[in-house]
Chain A
Amino acid sequence: GEDVEQSLFLSVREGDSSVINCTYTDSSSTYLYWYKQEPGAGLQLLTYIFSNMDMKQDQRLTVLLNKKDKHLSLRIADTQTGDSAIYFCAESIGDYKLSFGAGTTVTVRA
Chain B
Amino acid sequence: GAVVSQHPSRVICKSGTSVKIECRSLDFQATTMFWYRQFPKQSLMLMATSNEGSKATYEQGVEKDKFLINHASLTLSTLTVTSAHPEDSSFYICSAREVGQNYGYTFGSGTRLTVV
Contacts and interface: CB of A to CB of B under 8 A. Distances in A.
Interface of A: 2, 30-31, 33, 35, 40-45, 48, 50, 88, 92, 96-98, 100-103
SS of A interface (majority): strand
B105 A42 contact: no
B56 interface: no
Interface in B67-116: 93, 95, 97, 102-110, 112
Nearest to A6: B43
SS of B interface (majority): strand
Interface in B14-31: none
Interface of B: 4, 6, 32, 34, 42-44, 46, 49, 93, 95, 97, 102-110, 112
A33 B44 CA distance: 14
Nearest to A48: B103
Closest 10 CB pairs of A and B: A43-B107, A42-B109, A42-B107, A102-B43, A42-B110, A100-B43, A31-B103, A100-B44, A42-B108, A42-B93
A48 B104 contact: yes
A37 B80 CA distance: 24
15 contacts: A31-B102, A35-B107, A40-B110, A40-B112, A41-B109, A42-B107, A42-B108, A42-B109, A42-B110, A43-B44, A43-B107, A44-B107, A45-B104, A96-B97, A103-B42
Nearest to A92: B103
Contact of A45 (B44, B93, B105, B112): B105
